[in-house]
Chain A
């Protein structure tokens, strides 16, 4: 391991042990549908790797370290995926999570495809590449990934969890150092229960985090927990989540913004919108602001709308059938959600198809002719 990486890891482990926020969210409620009822279930995450960081900082040998330089695509080692302990007397998630090793990946390549092994995996990805890095992320099951962004680095994570198994819980953490930028773009159609739990710690001046998401849910729960910690000056964040819920689709959003005492020039924005297509669909949004500084520009807004009659009438008044009008309006909502994506093309085609299928509703995105 090179000198700069080990010193960076050392710094990370210091932050990990010093920060009161670190490790927050290791045990989270997940919304689970059971026989038509929604209930809260404690989900044991493959937990946030505080100890992993500490170990990495000291170069602990039992952990695999992969140094990715040339390979464009990388698939983790087979033996790295422990057997899923089914029908365990105690909670299988808890057992598996505790016994899991983590894998540290040092990334020095500007494209990286992380196909997380099943059923549970823990990853630490250290990004040291100076040009923007794109990481595509897939998992079928629960997973935990920590992104470490060195000074000035830039990462775009593109994640589509459409194929996730029911009751998947994805925990993403980003530690963003000075002038580094972290962006997470995610879009999926969910008919089971999926929770995305994303937190970014903006620990250095000029750090930024953008989280944008477009989801479709029917006969299931989609939960997004997002928390951004502004721990340094001049940090900025954007959260923008759009969700369409069809029959028996439930969307839960908890969006938090934390701005630490003494920080200056903090900018934090949050937008959440949901569109309900059916009487049995619902959405609940909980924005939380913990602002301990005066030097902050902050906004948040949430709106929930039923498929809009006035808009349907406008389109139909021009001769467009009710069915096409609905497709266009849902497409309009979705397009508005994808608007801030830097890599929308990665998602749109498959999203329109899979979302259309689970919602039982054709979705038409009307692009400039």
Chain B
């Protein structure tokens, strides 16, 4: 089957530092990939590069999405084509209404696909439905984007955005941080339901808790800017038992 996301020899990172260095990764529709790696290795940087952040410029290699070269494509265009990142630490933006922002986002997607704007009533109905599913309080429609949200609420809000935008590639950067055990169970259930044969998941995580619900097809160990080892779920167990040292090929 054709790849959904294909990364070839990618070199990228902020201000002259190649935090991503010669990285290769292929994700096909329907797959679940997991990236594990030490703190500060560059996992969040990788996810930001995939979304097209201009402050993390690409200095080598290529990124393809649904068969097209998107290496130079602006962020918003990538999002509209179906790339979604649930941020590790979602940013608070005071004064910008949470749901109005989301309506804007939904309509930007629709416009890009030549569709009419969603009717405000339809939008609200759908958003409320998902908010209830995620256990988000009613007053979320009144609040500013992530402003004063708890860690868990921020993560749920990211998933609300995912549900409304219906992306094909979902990158979850430490979705489990900030959520309590029940929260992780709820959210992973929702993500599992969302996932289907046309959609792929890329999970960045330190914990295996989430694998109880979402079964990974591939586990990658990320270190020194690239993927140093790829395996199945058993690799995660090895990390748990012996840390990352075993994969790094000796001390620096």
Contacts and interface: CB of A to CB of B under 8 A. Distances in A.
A341 B96 CA distance: 17
B133 interface: no
A311 B161 CA distance: 16
Contacts of A328: 96, 101, 104
Most chain A CB inside 10 Å of its own CB: which residue of B51, B54, B100, B141: B100
A318 B95 contact: no
Interface string B63-107: 000000000001110011000010100110111110111111100
Contacts of B100: 366-369
A149 B101 CA distance: 43
A320 B102 CA distance: 10
A318 B161 contact: yes
A311 B91 contact: yes
A76 interface: no
A324 interface: yes
Contacts of A337: 95
A260 to B, nearest CB: 35
B214 interface: no
B62 interface: no
Contact of A366 (B74, B87, B97, B108): B97
A319 B80 contact: yes
Contacts of A324: 104, 108
A129 interface: no
B194 to A, nearest CB: 17
B165 interface: yes
A319 B91 contact: no
Interface in A302-327: 309-311, 313-322, 324-325
A343 interface: no
Nearest to A364: B104
A319 to B, nearest CB: 4
A311 B53 contact: no
Nearest to B80: A319
Interface string A333-369: 1111101000000000000000000000000001111
A369 B141 contact: yes
B99 A317 contact: no
A331 interface: yes
Contacts of A311: 91, 93
Nearest to A332: B95
Contacts of A325: 76
Interface centre among B55, B76, B144 (most CB of A within 10 A): B76
A332 B96 contact: yes
A368 B97 contact: yes
B191 interface: no
A264 interface: no
A336 B94 CA distance: 7
Given A313-B75, A369-B124, A320 B95 contact: no
Given A332-B96, A369-B123, A319 B53 contact: no
Contacts of A318: 79, 101-102, 105, 108, 161, 165
Given A311-B91, A324-B108, A317 B103 contact: no
Nearest to A242: B95
A329 interface: yes
Contacts of B144: 332, 336
A229 B112 CA distance: 56
A369 B97 contact: yes
Contact of B120 (A315, A332, A369): A369
B124 to A, nearest CB: 6
Given A310-B91, A311-B93, A366 B112 contact: no
Contact of B94 (A309, A315, A317, A332): A332
B239 to A, nearest CB: 29
Contacts of A329: 93, 96
A17 to B, nearest CB: 46
- Which of B99, B101, B142, B145 counts the most chain A CB atoms within 10 A? B101
Contact of B96 (A309, A317, A339, A366): A366
A57 B94 CA distance: 49
B173 to A, nearest CB: 12
A368 B53 contact: no
Contacts of B156: none
A319 B112 contact: yes
Interface string B97-140: 10111111100110010000000100110000000000000000
Residue in A322, A328, A337, A339 with the greatest tally of chain B CB atoms within 10 Å: A328
Given A317-B51, A369-B100, A322 B74 contact: yes
A360 to B, nearest CB: 21
Nearest to B97: A366
B94 A319 contact: no
Nearest to A334: B95
Among B96, B101, B103, B112, the most chain A Cβ lie within 10 Å of the Cβ of: B96
Contacts of B109: 319
Q: Which of A313, A319, A321, A324 has the most chain B CB within a 10 Å cutoff?
A: A319
Given A366-B96, A366-B104, 10 more contacts: A314-B87, A314-B90, A317-B76, A318-B161, A320-B105, A321-B108, A324-B108, A325-B76, A332-B96, A366-B101
23 contacts: A313-B53, A313-B55, A314-B87, A315-B96, A316-B76, A316-B79, A317-B75, A317-B85, A318-B108, A321-B108, A322-B76, A324-B108, A325-B76, A328-B101, A334-B95, A335-B96, A335-B97, A337-B95, A366-B96, A368-B97, A368-B99, A368-B142, A369-B141
Q: Which 8 A-B pairs have the closest CB atoms?
A: A332-B95, A366-B100, A336-B95, A332-B96, A319-B79, A318-B105, A335-B95, A316-B75
